Amino acid sequence: MLRVQQLKLPVSHTREELEKKLRKTLKLSKEELLSWNIRRQSLDARKKPELFFVYTVDVSVKQEKQVMKRVHSKNIMSTTEKKFSYLHMEQNLNAPRPVIVGSGPAGLFCAYYLVKAGMKPLVLERGEDVDDRLKTVERFWSTGELNPESNVQFGEGGAGTFSDGKLNTLVKDPVGRNQEVLKIFVEAGAPEEILYQQKPHLGTDALIGLVKNIRRFIEEAGGEVRFSSKVTDLEIRDNALTAVIVNDSEKIETNTVVLAVGHSARDTFSMLKEKGLSMEAKSFAVGLRAEHPQTLINQYQYGQECREDLGAAAYKVTHRGKNGRGVYSFCMCPGGYVVNASSEPGRLAVNGMSYQKRDSQNANSALIVSVTPDDFPEDGVLAGVEFQRKLEEVAFALGKGKIPVQRYADFCLNKETKEFGAVKPCMKGGYTMANVRTLLPETLNETLIEGIESFNRMIPGFSQPDMLLSGIESRTSSPVRIVRNEQFQSSTAGIYPCGEGAGYAGGITSAAMDGLRVGEAITKNFINSL
């Protein structure tokens, strides 16, 4: 197989034009070209508004060696496709029944691996199935009635279900887990374009159906998924797991449990600390959600306020503050909504989400500042949790349970917003005008302003007076790491920390990849124990 890189065409090109350019580059006749598929597609906007797609394409041809002799280019090479493979146990093996705690990407993809390997895992999810969860979340947004067990953070699909559904990741993985995750999504009904787009995304509305389809595959293959089933305790004997306790009453005996609990499972973190698992506080970031007109971001990226063929544009910005703290955009949602993502009574957190069409008036992104355990008022492995909670309590009080929102000009002047300007909020959940500057420690506010002014030099208009800030963005990543060894087990044998909540991922794809990784480790450890 040949890999051809740097094939550039106008964004409005047809598939036939791409194939024609491919044959011309390789000097092929139609008969010599057996098949081809796009490996990667990226946008070249350096000459905007004239925009191009740049492709990497894998090609199967007749007489590959002869083709390579007649074309000489550093952008053409011979390659062998790497396919992800699953370990598999014979059906007559007495495989254990692993218990997976959490049905976010890490838990679902771990269960997927295990059923492919021949096991029959039990997935325990504290929240509701995705259909009931959607109803519960929408009721919360309209009434403020919070269900602490099923919300934007908890329930089938995990926190990523109510997000932009980004599938890009910076995780390097030579064995092909990244591509395997995308293929599983496509098998579940996602568009094939996610296999090669530079920044693929799904959107909340698409994720709901995909999550259900992955769950159905797990169940049809012999696994089981149970909802409203919260793991409240672990039984440990001689430093090894023997059982899990569900809803403070039901005992399920097992010697293997995957902790794919998500970054907001604070009560579970407390229980694990009491059980003596090795854990450590870790750095993360906090900040505010920023809303801009989507047309501003489109103009910056495309040179035009609207490109229906490309959809709403995204951005990514970073800055190193004078005090050494990083300031950066996170979970950017083109054409999206700021959402009330709270999971605890009396505490308020926000996040961003988009639907697949990305068709709201605003672009939103978290603008966050890095914090370390040195910033936490308390000591201990759960100090970051308490730091988050105190910020969320202040946000809840400021907005009286609604999302507090402020114009950027008023934020800089440290005064409450009384009237919105050209930018109006696009939000899920009630909101109210307030002085958002009171949410964060002043040193973080100053760093945030420094970063926003720096971003304005990259994206003209970014620091416009009517830009909106809301908060608090406190759930960017897990505040703890549950330590695991080379066998992917914790300090207690049989317990496998997994995904974002355990401190080993950051986003849908990386969490799903870690789920595959842990599924492989469980299978390998069992085979080696025979």
Residue of 55, 44, 51 lying closest to 19 (CA atoms): 55
Q: Please indicate, yes or no, whether residues 150 and 173 belong to a single structural domain of this protein.
A: yes
Residue 185 falls within a domain, yes or no? yes
Q: Please indicate, yes or no, whether residues 383 and 311 belong to a single structural domain of this protein.
A: yes
Q: What is the pLDDT of residue 362?
A: 98
Distance CA 346, CA 422 (A): 32
Residue of 271, 200, 281 lying closest to 512 (CA atoms): 200
Helix (H) or strand (E) holding 512: helix 508-529
487 and 429 in contact (C-beta within 8 Å)?
Answer: no
Residue of 360, 362, 385 lying closest to 286 (CA atoms): 385
Distance CA 213, CA 189 (A): 8
Q: What is the pLDDT of residue 173?
A: 81
Q: What is the pLDDT of residue 95?
A: 64
Q: Which of 43, 78, 113 is the last residue of a domain?
A: 78
233 and 73 in contact (C-beta within 8 Å)?
Answer: no
The tens place of each residue's pLDDT in the chain, 530 residues long, gives: 899 999 999 999 999 999 999 999 999 888 889 999 999 999 999 999 999 999 999 999 898 888 888 888 889 988 887 889 999 876 545 666 899 999 999 999 999 999 999 999 999 999 999 999 999 999 999 999 999 999 999 999 999 999 988 898 877 788 899 999 999 999 999 999 999 998 899 999 999 999 999 999 999 999 999 999 999 999 999 999 999 999 999 999 999 999 999 999 999 999 999 999 999 999 999 999 999 999 999 999 999 999 988 999 999 999 999 999 999 999 999 999 999 999 999 999 999 999 999 999 999 999 999 999 999 988 999 999 999 999 999 999 999 999 999 999 999 999 999 999 999 999 999 999 999 999 999 999 999 999 999 999 999 999 999 999 999 999 999 999 999 999 999 999 999 999 999 999 999 999 999 999 999 999 999 888 77
Q: What is the pLDDT of residue 93?
A: 59
Q: What is the pLDDT of residue 83?
A: 85
Distance CA 185, CA 193 (A): 11
Q: Please indicate, yes or no, whether residues 52 and 159 belong to a single structural domain of this protein.
A: no
Peptide bond into 49 cis (omega under 30): yes
Close Cβ partners of 297 (under 8 Å, ≥ 6 residues apart): 312, 313, 314, 315, 334, 363, 459
Distance CA 344, CA 388 (A): 12
Residue of 378, 295, 284 lying closest to 331 (CA atoms): 284
Judged by DSSP in three states, 251 sits in: strand
Total count of domains within the chain: 3
Residue with tokens 């041809």: 61
Distance CA 125, CA 260 (A): 10
Residue 210 falls within a domain, yes or no? yes
Burial class (CB in 10 A: 0-12, 13-18, 19+), 145: exposed
Distance CA 158, CA 151 (A): 9
Q: Please indicate, yes or no, whether residues 200 and 340 belong to a single structural domain of this protein.
A: no
Q: What is the pLDDT of residue 89?
A: 78
Distance CA 417, CA 339 (A): 20
Residue 312 falls within a domain, yes or no? yes
Distance CA 347, CA 281 (A): 21
Pairing of strands 122-124, 279-281: unpaired
Q: Which of 455, 473, 491 is the last residue of a domain?
A: 473
Q: Please indicate, yes or no, whether residues 212 and 324 belong to a single structural domain of this protein.
A: no
Burial class (CB in 10 A: 0-12, 13-18, 19+), 456: middle
Q: What is the pLDDT of residue 529?
A: 78
Q: Please indicate, yes or no, whether residues 113 and 260 belong to a single structural domain of this protein.
A: yes
What interhelical angle do 204-220 and 105-117 show, nearest 10? 30
> At 62, which amino acid appears?
K
pTM: 0.94
Q: Please indicate, yes or no, whether residues 213 and 246 belong to a single structural domain of this protein.
A: yes
Structural domain boundaries, residue 7: 2-78
Distance CA 451, CA 325 (A): 10
Residue 86 falls within a domain, yes or no? no
Read off the tokens for 159: 């926190």
Q: What is the pLDDT of residue 391?
A: 98
Residue 382 falls within a domain, yes or no? yes
Residue 458 falls within a domain, yes or no? yes
Q: Please indicate, yes or no, whether residues 104 and 205 belong to a single structural domain of this protein.
A: yes
Q: What is the pLDDT of residue 29?
A: 86
- Going 443 to 444 to 449 to 450, the CA torsion angle's sign is positive
Q: Please indicate, yes or no, whether residues 501 and 406 belong to a single structural domain of this protein.
A: no
Peptide bond into 472 cis (omega under 30): yes
> At 259, which amino acid appears?
L
CATH number for the domain spanning 13: value is 3.30.70.2700
CATH number for the domain spanning 138: value is 3.50.50.60
- Going 37 to 40 to 41 to 44, the CA torsion angle's sign is negative
Residue 177 falls within a domain, yes or no? yes
456 and 300 in contact (C-beta within 8 Å)?
Answer: no
Q: Please indicate, yes or no, whether residues 54 and 125 belong to a single structural domain of this protein.
A: no
Q: Please indicate, yes or no, whether residues 303 and 406 belong to a single structural domain of this protein.
A: yes
Q: Please indicate, yes or no, whether residues 366 and 267 belong to a single structural domain of this protein.
A: no
Helix (H) or strand (E) holding 391: helix 383-399
Q: What is the pLDDT of residue 91?
A: 57
Residue of 65, 61, 117 lying closest to 90 (CA atoms): 117
Distance CA 394, CA 56 (A): 49
Q: Which of 473, 490, 506 is the last residue of a domain?
A: 473
Distance CA 460, CA 185 (A): 37
Question: 455-458 long-range CB contacts below 8 Å, 24 or more apart?
Answer: 455/317, 455/319, 455/329, 455/367, 458/317
Residue 87 falls within a domain, yes or no? no
The upper half-sphere exposure of residue 202, i.e. CA atoms within 13 Å in the direction of its Cβ, equals 28
Q: What is the pLDDT of residue 69?
A: 80
